A and B are shown apart, each in its own frame.
Chain A
């Protein structure tokens, strides 16, 4: 395990990497403040009303994210319900992140990039073989991170669904062509969402090295939970 000092040293990353730890996007008492190393999974429970700020410390680092009702994880984040209710495939300030039962799990309360992705899904060892070739099979993936972190809560493959990708950029062209392209985030850019019920948040700090979702340079994420306005 690398030390926090090493994880937060720009020299640990590609030449020219800038790391900006920024700070919380929302007020209220500080409840949690943690660094997620590159390539690693992470999770916490955010209670109703609390706000999670995710900081893209090194810029254009995809934070793959799944949300669950912390009291009944059979209720979990739903890409299609979020899209169908909002009428838009992109996630922005004000987007309500809905569950598979149509209930609000969280609301995006601040966002420092133009838009956030929720159609690109997660990478994985097996899907990498389709996307890039069988030579990638030994590489780590977000699906592996999600499975490892979900296991801590008694969940498994049945509990992984399509996810959010904070700081990832997936345009859809007029003919339906879509794909992951260069990011529109940067060091210190943030997104914040307020829990509308007690939610379990799983994050995979994406290890992908075959497309631009991490600028081919996986960097840390900072996760800050604050109590929100009194």
Chain B
């Protein structure tokens, strides 16, 4: 009987080893690029030697990384069908994490775009959105649950065709010692939602292919990203495209930045962050 195994000659350890090693060097549409400078898609204007993370994340998959303060992370929606659900934690004290309510309340603005700080519940900035040519993002709907995935797509399991965001976050979190208690509401990029006067939500979808958002780490962070359809995506089919990610060494926000003259709340958040790090000797 012909099987997949028949394509492999793995009868002995030596043959199995040779077979395994012959697989190295292959290329997939979605994969990390190591070293990061070897990325086939280097971001324009960025010194390749400063790249610290380069990866393409498949639709329905996830990634995670610990990044240094001052790391600039570019998320790119390759086909216009990605939706990057993001959670951030202070790696020094991971019970400090993204607080979506404070992220919209404190800057007096619900819609995320360039200049918006992503705040923790402890009065500090975890990251700043420093570039955005999409403008289609969401801080209201979070990610999908198993219950929502089963109701909409018939399946939500990570090993199935339509993983839910929460189940992927659970796996990503576990790889940093975090559990379900550590998964607060998330924000998502590349699929927009707007609020009508009566409070109802309108799904405004994608800004199209090739759009990017840059996040600047203001603390050393655990970054969890699930690339799954937006909870309010009305399409009955599970539709999610690849998410490209590049990160490089950059410079954290200076609390004295004149841009913050118009954002006294944000300025105090950067001051708190700088004070916290100074007290720790960082």
Is B62 part of the binding interface, using a Cβ–Cβ cutoff of 8 Å?
no
Partner-contacting stretch, out of B50-58, B198-206, B244-252: B198-206
Is A151 part of the binding interface, using a Cβ–Cβ cutoff of 8 Å?
no
> Nearest Cβ distance between residue B153 and chain A, in whole angstroms?
13
Is A31 part of the binding interface, using a Cβ–Cβ cutoff of 8 Å?
no
Contact A115 B199 (CB under 8 A): yes
Closest to A75 in B: B180
Across-interface contacts of A177 in B (CB, < 8 A): 108-110
Contact A83 B201 (CB under 8 A): yes
Is B253 part of the binding interface, using a Cβ–Cβ cutoff of 8 Å?
no
Contact B142 A80 (CB under 8 A): yes
Q: Mark A122-138, 1 if CB is under 8 A from B, else 0.
A: 10111111110110000
Q: For the complex, what is the distance from the CA of A155 to the CA of B121, rounded to whole Å?
A: 16
Is B122 part of the binding interface, using a Cβ–Cβ cutoff of 8 Å?
yes
Closest to B142 in A: A80
Interface residues on A, range: 35 or more
Contact B142 A120 (CB under 8 A): no
Is B123 part of the binding interface, using a Cβ–Cβ cutoff of 8 Å?
yes
Q: For the complex, what is the distance from the CA of A186 to the CA of B272, rounded to whole Å?
A: 37
Contact B201 A87 (CB under 8 A): yes
Contact B104 A84 (CB under 8 A): no
Is A100 part of the binding interface, using a Cβ–Cβ cutoff of 8 Å?
yes
Across-interface contacts of A87 in B (CB, < 8 A): 200-201, 232
Contact A101 B146 (CB under 8 A): yes
Across-interface contacts of A178 in B (CB, < 8 A): 104-105, 108-110
> Nearest Cβ distance between residue B145 and chain A, in whole angstroms?
4
> Nearest Cβ distance between residue B156 and chain A, in whole angstroms?
10
Closest to B272 in A: A129
User: Known contacts A80-B142, A87-B200, A178-B110; is A159 also within 8 Å of B181 by CB?
Assistant: yes
Contact B199 A79 (CB under 8 A): no
Contact B110 A130 (CB under 8 A): no
Is A63 part of the binding interface, using a Cβ–Cβ cutoff of 8 Å?
no
Q: Mark B103-128, 1 if CB is under 8 A from A, else 0.
A: 01110111100000001011110000
Contact A129 B123 (CB under 8 A): yes
Q: Please provide the chain B residues from 249 to 281 with a CB less than 8 Å away from any CB of chain A in the complex.
A: 265-266, 268-269, 272
Is A179 part of the binding interface, using a Cβ–Cβ cutoff of 8 Å?
yes
Q: Mark A109-125, 1 if CB is under 8 A from B, else 0.
A: 00000010001111011
Across-interface contacts of B110 in A (CB, < 8 A): 119, 172, 176-178
Q: For the complex, what is the distance from the CA of A163 to the CA of B106, rounded to whole Å?
A: 15
Is A190 part of the binding interface, using a Cβ–Cβ cutoff of 8 Å?
no
Across-interface contacts of A175 in B (CB, < 8 A): 111
Contact B269 A130 (CB under 8 A): yes
> Nearest Cβ distance between residue A124 and chain B, in whole angstroms?
7
Q: Mark B62-104, 1 if CB is under 8 A from A, else 0.
A: 0000000000000000000000000000000001100111101
Q: For the complex, what is the distance from the CA of A180 to the CA of B146, rounded to whole Å?
A: 33
Is B16 part of the binding interface, using a Cβ–Cβ cutoff of 8 Å?
no
Contact A126 B200 (CB under 8 A): no
User: Known contacts A90-B199, A102-B146, A126-B122; is A79 also within 8 Å of B181 by CB?
Assistant: no
Is A160 part of the binding interface, using a Cβ–Cβ cutoff of 8 Å?
yes
Is B182 part of the binding interface, using a Cβ–Cβ cutoff of 8 Å?
yes
Q: For the complex, what is the distance from the CA of A156 to the CA of B232, rounded to whole Å?
A: 31
Partner of B101, one of A103, A121, A172, A179: A121
Closest to B197 in A: A174
Q: For the complex, what is the distance from the CA of A120 to the CA of B103, rounded to whole Å?
A: 10
Q: Mark A49-68, 1 if CB is under 8 A from B, else 0.
A: 00000000000000000000
Q: Please provide the chain A residues from 67 to 119 with a CB less than 8 Å away from any CB of chain B in the complex.
A: 73-75, 78-81, 83-85, 87-90, 100-103, 115, 119
Other A-B contacts than A79-B100, A101-B145, 11 sampled, CB-CB below 8 A, are: A73-B181, A80-B186, A83-B141, A84-B231, A101-B166, A115-B199, A119-B105, A121-B100, A131-B105, A158-B95, A159-B181
Which 3 pairs between the two chains have the least Cβ-Cβ distance?
A: A121-B101, A80-B142, A126-B123
